[in-house]
Protein backbone atom coordinates (compact mmCIF):
# COMPACT_ATOMS: atom_id res chain seq x y z
CA UNK A 1 0.00 0.00 0.00
CA UNK A 2 1.07 3.57 -0.69
CA UNK A 3 -0.01 6.07 1.95
CA UNK A 4 0.12 9.70 0.90
CA UNK A 5 -1.46 12.90 2.22
CA UNK A 6 -4.07 14.74 0.21
CA UNK A 7 -1.67 17.71 0.13
CA UNK A 8 1.25 15.69 -1.26
CA UNK A 9 -0.95 13.95 -3.84
CA UNK A 10 -2.20 17.41 -4.82
CA UNK A 11 1.40 18.57 -5.29
CA UNK A 12 2.08 15.62 -7.62
CA UNK A 13 -1.10 16.30 -9.57
CA UNK A 14 -0.17 20.00 -9.85
CA UNK A 15 3.31 19.05 -11.10
CA UNK A 16 1.69 16.91 -13.80
CA UNK A 17 -0.58 19.81 -14.78
CA UNK A 18 2.34 22.27 -14.96
CA UNK A 19 4.54 19.98 -17.08
CA UNK A 20 1.74 18.91 -19.45
CA UNK A 21 2.00 17.84 -22.26
CA UNK A 22 5.32 16.35 -21.12
CA UNK A 23 5.66 13.79 -18.37
CA UNK A 24 6.58 15.12 -14.95
CA UNK A 25 8.68 13.14 -12.49
CA UNK A 26 9.85 13.24 -8.91
CA UNK A 27 10.68 11.34 -5.77
CA UNK A 28 8.62 10.18 -2.82
CA UNK A 29 10.33 10.64 0.54
CA UNK A 30 9.14 8.84 3.64
CA UNK A 31 9.49 5.56 5.45
CA UNK A 32 8.45 1.94 5.21
CA UNK A 33 5.98 0.49 7.67
CA UNK A 34 5.72 -3.23 6.99
CA UNK A 35 4.58 -3.55 3.40
CA UNK A 36 3.37 0.06 3.31
CA UNK A 37 5.22 2.92 1.66
CA UNK A 38 4.41 5.99 3.77
CA UNK A 39 5.04 9.25 1.89
CA UNK A 40 5.92 12.23 4.06
CA UNK A 41 7.24 14.57 1.36
CA UNK A 42 7.27 14.79 -2.40
CA UNK A 43 10.33 16.11 -4.18
CA UNK A 44 9.78 17.32 -7.77
CA UNK A 45 12.57 16.61 -10.24
CA UNK A 46 13.38 17.83 -13.72
CA UNK A 47 12.62 15.59 -16.67
CA UNK A 48 15.85 15.36 -18.67
CA UNK A 49 14.34 13.57 -21.66
CA UNK A 50 14.42 15.60 -24.89
CA UNK A 51 11.82 18.38 -24.95
CA UNK A 52 10.05 16.94 -28.00
CA UNK A 53 9.56 13.58 -26.23
CA UNK A 54 6.30 13.79 -24.30
CA UNK A 55 5.81 10.14 -23.34
CA UNK A 56 9.04 9.44 -21.41
CA UNK A 57 10.88 10.81 -18.45
CA UNK A 58 14.48 10.74 -17.35
CA UNK A 59 14.81 11.89 -13.77
CA UNK A 60 17.59 14.44 -13.32
CA UNK A 61 20.47 12.78 -11.43
CA UNK A 62 21.33 15.98 -9.55
CA UNK A 63 17.73 16.35 -8.38
CA UNK A 64 17.80 12.75 -7.16
CA UNK A 65 21.00 13.43 -5.26
CA UNK A 66 19.51 16.50 -3.56
CA UNK A 67 16.31 14.59 -2.73
CA UNK A 68 18.36 11.82 -1.11
CA UNK A 69 20.29 14.42 0.91
CA UNK A 70 17.04 16.12 1.97
CA UNK A 71 15.58 12.75 2.98
CA UNK A 72 18.62 11.94 5.13
CA UNK A 73 18.50 15.36 6.81
CA UNK A 74 14.85 14.72 7.71
CA UNK A 75 15.46 11.16 8.92
CA UNK A 76 13.57 9.79 5.90
CA UNK A 77 14.51 7.78 2.84
CA UNK A 78 13.46 7.60 -0.79
CA UNK A 79 10.48 5.23 -0.78
CA UNK A 80 9.43 5.74 -4.37
CA UNK A 81 9.10 7.77 -7.51
CA UNK A 82 6.26 9.44 -9.36
CA UNK A 83 5.54 10.45 -12.92
CA UNK A 84 2.60 11.49 -15.06
CA UNK A 85 0.93 9.96 -18.09
CA UNK A 86 -0.22 12.85 -20.31
CA UNK A 87 -3.46 11.95 -22.10
CA UNK A 88 -3.18 8.30 -21.05
CA UNK A 89 -4.64 6.11 -18.35
CA UNK A 90 -2.97 5.10 -15.12
CA UNK A 91 -0.87 1.99 -15.69
CA UNK A 92 2.72 0.85 -15.31
CA UNK A 93 4.02 0.59 -18.87
CA UNK A 94 6.66 -1.80 -20.16
CA UNK A 95 9.01 1.22 -20.35
CA UNK A 96 8.21 2.09 -16.73
CA UNK A 97 8.96 -1.49 -15.72
CA UNK A 98 12.24 -1.70 -17.64
CA UNK A 99 13.40 1.62 -16.12
CA UNK A 100 12.47 0.68 -12.55
CA UNK A 101 15.25 0.36 -10.01
CA UNK A 102 14.43 -3.27 -9.24
CA UNK A 103 14.29 -4.28 -12.92
CA UNK A 104 17.56 -2.54 -13.78
CA UNK A 105 19.38 -4.54 -11.10
CA UNK A 106 17.94 -7.75 -12.55
CA UNK A 107 18.14 -11.24 -11.16
CA UNK A 108 18.35 -12.32 -8.47
CA UNK A 109 15.35 -10.06 -7.99
CA UNK A 110 15.27 -7.64 -5.11
CA UNK A 111 12.11 -7.55 -3.05
CA UNK A 112 9.97 -4.52 -3.90
CA UNK A 113 12.13 -1.58 -2.79
CA UNK A 114 10.10 1.34 -4.10
CA UNK A 115 6.54 2.38 -4.85
CA UNK A 116 5.84 4.01 -8.20
CA UNK A 117 3.00 6.56 -8.27
CA UNK A 118 1.48 7.35 -11.67
CA UNK A 119 -0.95 10.22 -12.26
CA UNK A 120 -3.01 10.66 -15.39
CA UNK A 121 -3.27 14.17 -16.86
CA UNK A 122 -5.88 14.61 -19.57
CA UNK A 123 -5.92 17.77 -21.67
CA UNK A 124 -3.89 19.50 -18.98
CA UNK A 125 -6.15 18.48 -16.09
CA UNK A 126 -5.09 15.92 -13.46
CA UNK A 127 -7.25 12.83 -13.59
CA UNK A 128 -6.74 9.50 -11.82
CA UNK A 129 -3.79 8.04 -9.98
CA UNK A 130 -2.46 4.62 -9.04
CA UNK A 131 0.59 3.01 -7.48
CA UNK A 132 2.69 0.03 -8.42
CA UNK A 133 5.57 -2.09 -7.17
CA UNK A 134 8.00 -4.29 -9.05
CA UNK A 135 8.09 -7.84 -7.75
CA UNK A 136 10.07 -10.68 -9.36
CA UNK A 137 10.55 -8.60 -12.53
CA UNK A 138 6.84 -7.83 -12.95
CA UNK A 139 4.74 -4.83 -12.00
CA UNK A 140 1.79 -5.13 -9.65
CA UNK A 141 -0.78 -2.53 -8.65
CA UNK A 142 -0.98 -1.66 -4.96
CA UNK A 143 -3.65 0.18 -3.01
CA UNK A 144 -3.36 3.92 -2.45
CA UNK A 145 -4.60 5.40 0.81
CA UNK A 146 -5.02 9.19 0.74
CA UNK A 147 -4.86 10.76 4.18
CA UNK A 148 -6.63 14.05 4.78
CA UNK A 149 -5.44 15.42 8.14
CA UNK A 150 -7.95 18.28 7.97
CA UNK A 151 -10.79 15.76 8.13
CA UNK A 152 -9.16 13.54 10.74
CA UNK A 153 -9.71 10.51 8.52
CA UNK A 154 -8.43 8.83 5.42
CA UNK A 155 -9.93 7.36 2.31
CA UNK A 156 -8.90 4.36 0.23
CA UNK A 157 -8.64 4.41 -3.52
Instruction: List the pLDDT tens digit at each of the 157 positions of the chain.
Output: 999 999 999 999 999 999 999 999 999 999 999 999 999 999 999 999 988 877 889 999 999 999 999 999 999 999 999 999 999 999 999 999 999 999 988 888 888 999 999 999 999 999 999 999 999 999 999 999 999 876 654 455 5
Q: What is the residue range of 48's domain?
A: 2-156
The DSSP-derived string for 25-39 is: EEEEEEEEETTEEEE
Closest Cα to residue 43, out of 117, 111, 93?
117
**What CATH number is attached to the domain comprising 138?**
3.40.140.10
- Total of domains in the chain: 1
| pTM of this prediction exceeds 0.75 | yes
Amino acid sequence: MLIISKTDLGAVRDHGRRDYPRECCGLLLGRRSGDAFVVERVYPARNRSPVDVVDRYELDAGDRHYAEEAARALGLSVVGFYHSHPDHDVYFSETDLRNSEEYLLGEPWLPPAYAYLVVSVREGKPDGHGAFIVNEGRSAAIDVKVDDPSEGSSSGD
